[in-house]
Structure 1
């Protein structure tokens, strides 16, 4: 199903859904965001950069469904003097087609034997950000018809109208609006800046409409020229009356339209293409339109498809399930939109991996997120730490040249307190080369940090040789960019080991170098977690809670420096720093990691749990796996003397002095050590000490023992491993000053010291079992966990899929906003696809292979009924409504489109299924390549499966006997490598040294793997 696309008949009468065009415009293009709904003519909003750059007003999904048919794209067609509006809701014979690169709608006017098709795509590889709209009118009769058509946007916003301002004072803002009607386009702008400031600036940029066909259009920019005084924009009176071209158009003081009028005789087919976009200046637009014609746009449509095909060709699949093959491609594309698409750039200190096409997830249903697409060549966007990290964790199986880049970047972002900034803002470059003989304006530009795309645009503007682009980057240093954001989530660190293990799977021979020789800087946020005596408070209800946990500092340099030089420590020292901080705030019962940083873990909607002294058991599982990894590698690689912050060395010494005792005293002493360490770190002390391998081994072994006991205690709490624990203070005293007066904290409530807690586990969530299965479960206990989960309220028996939690009906609203959500909606008791897929990955990694393959039949969206799912089955949703929701019409329907962490889990499952856990091993100084796929026989077509390795190596599994490759009696009988010069046969299941390295370097074109059964040996 190489060219699969989703077709929806009578789309306006189906379940409503929202989605978007990818916003991918090529290396030398300006991205444009464009959202659509299956109502009206689809596009409900589009623009550049963010919501402040809207060309068509942004509405959240619930409003977009209403407004798209009125202020969006409209088409009025007059056929032999009879007027129709196309794509009205009540119209028949309407079809929606969704492709990875474009979207189109078709309506058949059966009575007239005429059809009209609209196709949308974004303009690729141009200095213009634009939405392209291709209109095709087809005559299915043999008669010539007289046609008039008015087509385009009923309302367009000029450049310079910000999102919040337009929502608040749209009537006033009309006073600045003006329209310039040029011969080849219409330009929409404001006459000046709208702020109430002393400095007023002119605006040269603008939005525009430009149209091409075999004949010239007439532009309609005044809505009254079409609708007269019908402010509802319902009836095109002037068009009906036949005097539309006689109307005098107004170009000021109103929200303009962006429409075109064509009149022609229709024999077989008539096409025109309109583009709606943004230009930096009128002069640049004048130059641009000189090269456009109808063929130009048709070629751009093909070019746009090629760009998307190139991205999705990263995964090539041929299994027995074509819909699954198409699904993986779509998952990869959507994974790129969150994590980015890697390209290599030669920089001064090292080759840099630069990620293009990414952005923070934000769309019609995620209206709470302020997304940002850099309006530049080589566009990169912002994203949340855990989102970007997760969506990049599989990149090495596609692009091995990335090597340790992501490990080093994300490890750099770990602070000395074990937390990390929320917002990852890509990378920039700072020029460190010779400025002699460079253009003066270029020198001004490169004196500050820059992105590659903006550099190339400056070179282009200055009409300099494009070779300067690579020359300057090769003499520039990489800068990682991030910002604190809004809090410290406890789960963010848990994804770092996945990245490291991904590196080890491809480069096991470089693990020692990565951990012990590679160095990383230390990020500093301008916020810190306060000690207990500043955040344990008594509420007005006399309950004891943890509020106001994070305090802000003045702005500071984001990297720890001494004498302006960034301090760096080995990767393993940074990971140890992380482990120490996390271990130290293990909760009062020594089971979960405390949510002491004002935010919870993975489930954002549990935002109240930190206030309840809550902790996460899932994070304990992840911390145990990380500390075990450090301990094993310290043991494996022998003696090292490693740099570490002196304060961290002192922290180790204090933790070593704490002996095991009752849980509360152990917790109190750990927290005392942690709070003393944090207090010291506020001085930004840059002193460095040495820590040797023996010391690291001792502290990690001690922590590992404590965490193993924590896991044992967690498992004893319930048949289903708990995810969240909360604590109620049972003994405390108020903090008083020297005058015996209550001390009021920064949160505005009296402060207390707590002397004892009572623990309670929240009802079962899916996350705890999912994380345990992925990290720690042995096959024999995995089956028991699976059975317990499936027999519980975590399983929706009606739809045969999983949900985030059992019923929370008896819980207090204090646990967070998920309690206020309706059951089966958002994070509350819904099938939150990211977590469901984490659970499926856990089944796979724990060795329950047959169970995994049975479960994906009802849990992968690609195998769901589109009529129930309510959208393309190859597009993920954030959540699917479960049968616990009171609205049965929504059961099984997916909401919040595509940009979900489920794509990362899907790619992890793909990698484990088709390659196995580790592609390479390093044994006795030898590199070994060994495939160990976990493929079910039902996935084979014509006794084989075709896929790719490292994007370009064709990998084929041959399975004449149709065995499950994970069966005990299945084995690899031979492997055949094909290079450009020779074919090499190996009668074994692995490949050693020279050829293993050639595979990793992609010097091999094809790998054929042949399976057999033990009985045939």
Structure 2
């Protein structure tokens, strides 16, 4: 295995550790995307299709099955030459190479016996009216004489459109009865004759999947009859039909394409001199008339142009993080992280609306893949495509949008803060943004269309379908959007995770790092933040504390769903909107009410845990999270400081919040009684939300009093946590030591969970062994460098550090605990979330080291913890691509130690981009003091990153270069920026010191400064 920094090359790839990955699925703003997965087996493409698993063109298999079936039902290449029939890429040959680039994947094989080389390249078709997978197969003659070859190349199985994922898995034999294939010159069209549902209404099916193929400019024979190819070999091991018949006889045989899953093979014979390329498109269309157009223009030149366009498209997307250091692999890794980050969070695209500039996030997708077979991903097959996602995932992967896209501003904050409910929980499923038209319809043909919410892609397609040219459609789309308002779409999903709120402050911090002068306006001047209504209540203790059949007191069945007509909290039948200050105050007060009986962690009171999903048993054990406490402390600390800066402000809040503030101010107990009093106050607030609501006004001065109390309590909580474990516990559980039954008519009351309800009178705290999460969260918010260093050194001496692999793992051993803590306990050690190197958490920890000021420690750790610096032979895949987890040395299979699993789309990319920001730009680059806006870049870079004393990166549209002639670590106390050179259209400007004034700040934000060069020298 090796990498040339942009292309990962795996030699003899079928003999290497198996891995799965995917093509990005980016087809450009005016293209139709497909999803496509590949593995390093066979001809690599294992499944692809439109929209989701129900749109599979090649059947979706989870990774373990894909490794088995790709060679059989995937793409195949049979060649007859000199009377010998050979299948390329079938056996695990010695001359087979895999080439992975960020926008494509290729394979090659050399057969020295028959003196032929076959190269296959795959990418998705960009900016076209149909979504298609491009397959370019080049046949190269390695001899010095012309050779006659006979070729059968294509897919062993191709599904007609309209076959749903579950249905095909369950009744594939039956579904063959509907399948049909239509042939036209140059292509085959795979469809169902009619709808397959067992209902009274039966509809005609007109859409379908297609296979187009040409040898250079010439059409070829397309074979869709699987039995014609394989005869009676139902295992598809050998193409007996092709083997036992002369080529002309084979291609002239009539095809029977019914009552079987069809294939899609190109058949041709050719006198090969040097090389020839077979070009194929496999995809979907609802407009069959388009296929004749693509048959006409499909040739080598067209696909060469599309290949370049695809590469350029991905290059333009990732140029925002163009970086030049002495570590080119690291530079390429940053680009891959940026790409994968936007695949989960989306690439911001500015849209002018009636409410100002909105950020419409293109190309996003839920992190479903072959190894996450449990997730049902969606890639919308439309222009300006956006997909689905989960609240936590999308939010954190948009954390750094303001750093790369100046137009985003507070859009993400508005989006996600609005989704926080009045009880401070949030929906799980994020379904993107749509638009509602707010004007008189003056565009012919759009009258009915604009009565409902729409996406830019659906509007653009509608305009094209009405006969408008591309330019007219785009112009009209912009006019319509200018009179429209963005509408947030989300749904409850699967539950309430208590860590989701912790990422809101990241968006605030990211915004204020770039726009500190807008803090007052951000907090107090815009009443645009609604409260999402999930129609799901968190029940009070008396309705969810149960006695199990084996005599244990547990917290089960914590949620109750109810009907609602609106997605938003209403006052007088209208969605209520407040300022961000009001929303954050509501959030802090709600989360403070969740402090556990020990006053240390935040209780998981709503059926779900925090970040570590696999600790799903914690809510039942009255579990709480110290990590969430640290994050609440960070948010409260910010809000307290902000309110003190703007003491004369009034805030409009929900009336029940005023009562909650008064209740908190009157807390006067200790221990269990204090917890009971505080929890009762929170439950009373939640109950009040069910009654007709109104707004009330409070002053920031009044809010400061309760925030100061909260801050004191959270500082005490931090101290108590450290007393439990020197690396801070992440999870606490509580066992009821005293309780009494709740009676109804003299009998034990049975709750919704069908178990008797009880009231707890006393708890005993039982901490869970150390996890890495709490230390990582602590480091992010601490300002005590020495304390952080002690914590770092202590962790290195625990099982949290894998000494063999020199990286970190999620927790110490969980052997002493039962399965009741969650499915994590049932997992194999060193696998998934259990005691593995879960990359997202490891990267959180690395970022924590950087933010805590442990710079030498950070740069030492990245040598073995960033995947770009890992040995690809051990890692088992491209060192440019993250995994969700890496097997640690605790795993019982030593062959898996250090190998990455579950490809790419994870929060680790967000953490890496945050590390990039801290390394290259530093903390809070923009400042606003005494009405003056300034920029002071403070890089944290080790001298190893400087090549000949230089490092460059992009800041918005400006190239920034550091000149470091003495090879200093920029974080050395004696290393300072002594001079700044600014180049713009007016020439070169020299500034002494390290601060740029407001004139330059505005120019940087506007993109009018070409280059900034900063000179680093020793302090005088």
| TM-score range relative to shorter protein | over 0.9
d(CA) in 1 for partners of 2:631, 2:39: 39
Are positions 1:945 and 2:951 aligned together? yes
Mapping for residues 831-846 of structure 1, pairs under 5 Å: 831-846=837-852
Contact 2:357-2:407 within 8 A present in 1 as well: no
- 1:128 is matched with 130
Q: 2:491 maps to what in 1?
A: 483
Does residue 1:617 correspond to 2:626, yes or no? yes
How do residues 601-616 of structure 1 correspond to structure 2 at under 5 angstroms? 601-616=610-625
Instruction: Identify which of 751, 766, 769 aligns with 1:745.
Output: 751
Task: Write the mapping of 1:607-686 to structure 2, written as runs, cut at 5 A.
Answer: 607-659=616-668, 661-683=669-691, 685-686=692-693
Residues 788-937 of structure 1: pairs in structure 2 closer than 5 A: 788-937=794-943
For 2:15, the equivalent position in structure 1 comes to 13
Note the C-alpha offset of 1:623.
0.2
Cα offset, 1:288, TM superposition = 3.6
Instruction: Confirm or deny: 8 A CA contact 1:731 1:755 kept in the other structure.
Output: yes
CA distance in 1, matches of 2:837, 2:437: 48
Query: What residue is the counterpart of 1:971 in the other structure?
Result: 976
SS of the counterpart of 1:710?
A: helix
Q: Deviations over 1:974-1014 (max 9, x none)?
A: 11111122211100111111112211222211010000101
Stretch of structure 1 that moved more, 895-904 or 987-996: 987-996
What is the SS of the residue equivalent to 1:135?
strand
| Partner residue of 2:768 out of 762, 772, 791 | 762
Counterpart-to-counterpart distance in 1, 2:649 and 2:883 = 47
Displacement of 1:578 in angstroms is 0.5
Name the residue aligned to 2:90: 88
Partner Cα distance (1:756, 1:969) in 2: 56
Q: 2:731 aligns with which of 693, 712, 724?
A: 724
CA contact 1:115–1:137 (8 Å) conserved in 2: yes
Q: Which residue of 2 aligns with 1:569?
A: 578
| 8 Å contact kept, 2:5–2:328 | no
- Equivalences for 1:481-520 in 2 at 5 Å? 481-519=489-527, 520=529
Distance in 2, Cα, partners of 1:221 & 1:435:
48
Give the Cα separation in 1 of the matches to 2:783 and 2:260. Answer: 65
* Distance in 1 (alpha carbons) for counterparts of 2:599 and 2:912: 33
Q: CA deviation at 1:407?
A: 1.0
Cα offset, 1:854, TM superposition: 0.3
Instruction: Determine whether 1:361 maps to 2:375.
Output: no
Q: Does 1:535 align with 2:544?
A: yes
Alignment match, 1:559: 568
Deviations 1:398-441 (A, max 9, x none): 111111111111111111001111111111001111113x223x
SS in 1 for 2:743: coil
What SS does the aligned partner of 1:873 have? coil
Deviations for 1:77-132, whole angstroms, at most 9, x for unmatched residues? 11132110000133230000000010000000111221000000001101211111
In 2, distance between residues paired with 1:793 and 1:238? 60
For 2:1010, the equivalent position in structure 1 comes to 1005
Distance 1:349 1:496 in 2: 22
Say yes or no: does 1:316 pair with 2:322: yes
Q: Which residue of 2 aligns with 1:456?
A: 460
Whether the 8 Å contact between 2:963 and 2:1013 is mirrored in structure 1 is yes
Equivalences, count: 1009
Coordinate RMSD, CA, aligned: 1.1
* Stretch deviating more after TM superposition (994-1003 or 506-515): 994-1003
2:139 aligned partner: 137
Residue 590 of structure 2 is aligned to residue 581 of structure 1: yes
CA contact (8 A) 1:180 1:251 kept: no
Question: What's the counterpart of residue 214 of structure 1?
Answer: 217
Asked if the contact 1:418/1:582 (under 8 Å) is kept, the reply is yes
Residue number in structure 2 paired with 1:37: 39
C-alpha deviation, 1:875, in angstroms: 0.3
Post-superposition offset of 1:562: 3.5
Q: Report the Cα offset of residue 937 of structure 1.
A: 0.7
After superposition, where does 1:437-452 map in structure 2 within 5 Å?
A: 438-440=443-445, 442-452=446-456
Q: Secondary structure at the match of 1:313?
A: helix
Q: Deviations over 1:8-39 (max 9, x none)?
A: 00000000000000000000011100000000
Q: Distance in 1 between matches of 2:654 and 2:30?
A: 44
Tell me what 2:711 maps to. Answer: 704
In structure 1, C-alpha distance between the alignment counterparts of 2:68 and 2:650, rounded to whole Å:
66
Deviation at residue 3 of structure 1 after TM alignment:
5.9
On the 8 A contact 2:782/2:788 being kept in 1, the answer is no
Q: Does 1:176 align with 2:178?
A: yes
Query: 1:626–1:582: structure 2 CA closer, same or farther, 3 Å change rule?
Result: same
Q: Is the 8 A contact 1:592 1:617 kept in 2?
A: yes
1:549 has 2:558 as partner: yes
Distance 2:572 2:690 in 1: 18
1:114-513 matched pairs, under 5 angstroms: 114-212=116-214, 213-241=216-244, 242=246, 243-436=249-442, 438-440=443-445, 442-464=446-468, 465-466=472-473, 467-513=475-521
Provide the secondary structure at the position in 2 that maps to 1:607. Answer: coil
Q: CA deviation at 1:526?
A: 1.4
Displacement of 1:200 in angstroms is: 1.2
Check the 8 A contact 1:2/1:326 in 2, yes or no.
no
Distance 1:606 1:910 in 2: 30
**For residues 158-187 of structure 1, what are the alpha-carbon distances to aligned partners after superposition, in whole Å with 9 as ceiling and x for unaligned?**
000000000000001011111111112100
Kindly state the Cα deviation for residue 825 of structure 1 after the two structures are TM-superposed: 0.2
1:50 counterpart residue number:
52
- Name the SS for the 2:415 alignment partner: helix
For 1:631 and 1:823, the matched residues in 2 are separated by 43
What is the CA–CA distance in structure 2 between the aligned matches of 1:522 and 1:610, rounded to whole Å? Answer: 25
Cα separation, partners in 2 of 1:2 and 1:690, compared to 1, 3 Å: farther
Report the CA distance between 1:4 and its aligned residue.
1.7
Contact 1:530 1:550 in 2 (8 A): yes
Runs of 4+ in 1 over 4 A off after TM superposition: none
8 Å contact from structure 1 (residues 957, 1008) kept in 2: yes
| Superposition deviation, residue 555 in structure 1 | 3.8
Q: Secondary structure at the match of 1:19?
A: strand
Cα deviation per residue 1:419-468 (whole Å; 9 max; x = unaligned)?
111111111001111113x223x211111000001100110011133221
Structure 2: unaligned runs, 5 residues or longer? none
CA deviations 1:286-307 (Å, max 9, x no partner) are 3343333321112111111111
Secondary structure of the corresponding residue to residue 687 of structure 2: helix
State TM-score, norm by structure 2.
Answer: 0.98
Q: Take 1:492 and 1:939, find their aligned partners in 2: how far apart are those partners?
A: 35
Query: 8 Å contact 1:560–1:686 — kept in the other structure?
Result: no
| 1:248 to partner: Cα distance | 1.8
Deviations 1:749-776 (A, max 9, x none): 1100000000011000000111001112
Separation in structure 2 between the aligned mates of residue 775 and residue 389 of structure 1, nearest angstrom: 19
Compute the displacement of 1:777 (Å): 4.8
Cα distance in structure 2, aligned partners of 1:139 and 1:13: 26
Distance 2:666 2:295 in 1: 74
Secondary structure at the aligned position of 1:991 is classed as: coil
Partner Cα separation in structure 2 for residue 944 and residue 763 of structure 1: 45
Name which of structure 1's ranges 402-411 and 922-931 shifts more when overlaid on structure 2.
Answer: 402-411
SS of equivalent residue, structure 2 residue 364: coil
Looking at structure 1, the residues matched to 899 and 671 of structure 2 have their Cα atoms a distance apart, in angstroms, of: 46
